Amino acid sequence: MQKERVYIFDTTLRDGEQSPGASMNTEEKIKIAAQLERLGVDIIEAGFAAASPGDFDAIRRICEVVKKSTVCSLARAVERDIVKAGESLKDAANKRIHTFIATSPIHMEHKLKMTPDQVIERAVEAVKLAKSFTDDVEFSCEDAGRSEMPFLKEILDAVIEAGATTLNIPDTVGYRLPQELGEMIKELHEHVGDRAIISVHCHNDLGLAVANSLFSVMNGARQIECTINGLGERAGNAALEEIVMAMKTRSDVFGFVETGINTKEIYPTSRLVSAITGIEPQPNKAIVGKNAFAHESGIHQDGVLKCQETYEIMKAEDIGLEKNRIVLGKHSGRHAFKERLEELGFDLSQEDLNRAFERFKVLADKKKEIFDDDIRMLIANEITNIPQTFELVGLQIADCSAGVPSAAVTIRHNDKEITDAGIGDGTIDAIFKTIDRISGHTGLLKDYRVEAVSQGKDALAKVVVNVQFDDSKSAVIGHGLSIDTMLASAKAYIGALNSYLSMLPSDCQIDSCEGV
């Protein structure tokens, strides 16, 4: 029996970025897009072109890098949005415009203040305009989960006639139960037939996004919209890794369909996204959580040692996860380092490789054992090519139980080294205040996290900060990596500042870009 293709539509760079604290700069988005293509994602929703000049530029540059996957831009059913989307995708090898409008009674009445006839008219105009930029047009009925079936059929018929080739049915607020959404998809699939592909976009407000997506596949959906690690608005989206591995593991149920995902790239992709966004999956997260393949119970350990399938329904190797092992040290050469990076899924330019190797040698002199996760974090942390407007040169701190915490910081700016010192409520506060005074930019710390990258007393400390600078309404993320936590904290704060400066003046957001 010939299997039907289920297309994987990844929206990590659009809906995933709307997770509080998950904003990414352009270079970070390009790195993730390249990895998503390596993973085998069919469609990459690269952003919302009309949201800001930064989003527009990120989509445009992703089009230059991604050649196999289709690059998609979201657009409201508004002329300006669609034109911006079309312009941002101009150089894409394969491109799609994804336009949407709300179709539920509550959205039409209270948000759009439009009649159903006006909504259909707007939708048709939007699809026709999008069609002038590309033949691949997707239309979404925002809040379809709470929309009325007769109206859904009516508007879908209209947009198919206008040229839409994919019809997305979003459960925008995660309201539907799996059986309910499955029945909806079945009825719409029977109505649409082979005129267009039915897609679903499920949110996780009730923890049902993956289940809803799977039930939709069983009832005729042939595109699933999802994100890496389940990132997204509020409680997030359906997790790509869970959907793909559920279909792979339960081939007795899903044997009639297949995806193009290379599952061995799941874990590397998850780690890259968590390293860049600073949002780690919870330890008990299915598939990619730290405990997903861990066994503490003696009974479980004994069973797995005797027969892996007693307590594991899938192999860790299937998602690209291997046990930590020491692979490199201070005596390792450039060739061995490059080969290990390629094994871990990193494809670096010669310039990036040289810079990464220098950082690796510095680390190897300080750290006795270097693990794969150390290397992954080192590369993800160091190869973001944003302009280094400010660069940390030196840090000296003083703290004691009866004294006043203080920090002396030296920063290079415009080839000039500037040193200043300050005090604070704690050592971290003193460091950040001193950096503010030297740079002339005032930061408001929204979040601060520190964790060990691997294991051992000399484990690398990864610090992630979320900072709002000056009068900006949006916060930016900074990453710092060092064996010394205070040094990692200073690097993270300066990294956030450089990221903020690299995106100016691209912080002019539209009122709402939540989309589907």
Q: Which CATH number do you get for residue 53?
A: 3.20.20.70
112 and 240 part of one domain: yes
The helix or strand, by DSSP H or E, that contains position 393, with its residue range, turns out to be strand 391-398
Locus of tokens 């009825």: 187
376 with 468, same domain? no
The reported pTM is 0.79
Considering the domain boundaries, does residue 264 fall inside one? yes
Considering the domain architecture, whether residues 87 and 115 belong to the same structural domain is answered as yes
Q: State whether 254 and 342 are in the same domain.
A: no
Asked whether 428 and 448 are in contact (CB, 8 A), the reply is yes
| pLDDT score at 77 | 97
Q: Is residue 285 one of the residues assigned to a domain? A: no
> Does 214 lie in the same domain as 238?
yes
Q: Please indicate if the annotation marks 507 as binding a ligand.
A: no
Same structural domain, 302 and 159: no
347 in the same domain as 308? no
- Verify that 345 and 256 share a domain, yes or no: no
Provide the pLDDT for residue 311: 64
| CATH number (domain holding residue 466) | 3.30.160.270
Kindly state the helix (H) or strand (E) to which residue 325 belongs, with its residue range. Answer: none
**Calpha distance 22→141 (Å, rounded):** 26
Residue 286 lies in a domain: no
Q: Which of 144, 170, 172 is CA-nearest to residue 235?
A: 172
Question: What is the signed CA dihedral for 317, 27, 91, 221, rounded to 10 degrees?
Answer: 40
Co-location of 406 and 353 in the same domain:
no
218 and 362 part of one domain = no
| Per-residue model confidence (pLDDT) at position 511 | 41
Number of structural domains in the chain: 4
Q: Which structure tokens are listed for 198?
A: 């039915």
d(CA 388, CA 499): 9
Identify whether the C-beta of residue 494 lies closer than 8 Å to the C-beta of residue 478: yes
Q: Is 300 annotated as a binding residue?
A: no
User: Measured between alpha carbons, how far is 252 from 424 in angstroms, rounded to an integer?
Assistant: 61
**Under a CB-based contact definition with an 8 Å cutoff, are residues 6 and 217 in contact?**
yes
Please tell me what DSSP assigns to residue 93: S
Hey, is 22 helix, strand or coil?
coil
**What pLDDT shows up at residue 507?**
41
- Write out the chain's pLDDT in tens, 516 residues: 789 999 999 999 999 888 776 778 888 899 999 999 999 999 999 999 999 888 999 999 999 999 999 999 999 999 999 999 999 999 999 999 999 999 999 999 999 999 999 999 999 999 999 999 999 999 999 999 999 999 999 999 999 999 999 999 999 999 999 999 999 999 999 999 999 999 999 999 999 999 999 999 999 999 999 999 999 999 999 999 999 999 999 999 999 999 999 999 999 999 999 988 888 899 899 999 887 776 544 554 556 456 666 767 888 888 887 654 545 777 778 887 888 887 777 777 888 888 888 888 888 887 766 777 778 777 766 656 678 899 999 999 987 666 789 999 999 999 999 999 999 989 999 999 999 999 999 999 999 989 887 776 677 888 989 999 998 877 888 888 888 899 999 999 999 999 888 877 544 434 444 557
Quick check: is 451 in a domain?
yes
Does residue 78 sit within a domain?
A: yes
Assigned domain for 343 exists: yes
**Peptide bond before 53: cis, by omega within 30 degrees of 0?**
no
440: left (phi over 0), alpha (psi -120 to 50) or beta: left
Residue span of the structural domain in which 344 resides? 334-382
Residue 282 domain flag: no
Given this model, what pLDDT does residue 66 score?
97
**Co-location of 237 and 298 in the same domain:** no
Residue 413 is labelled as binding a ligand: no
Look at residues 430, 371, 435 and name the one whose alpha carbon lies nearest to residue 398. Answer: 430
Grouping H, G, I as helix, E, B as strand and the rest as coil, residue 388 is coil
Tell me if 15 is assigned to a ligand binding site. Answer: yes
Report pLDDT for 302. Answer: 56
Does one domain contain both 58 and 156?
Answer: yes
In a domain, 514, yes or no: no
Q: What angle do CA 180, 182, 185 make, to 5 degrees?
A: 115
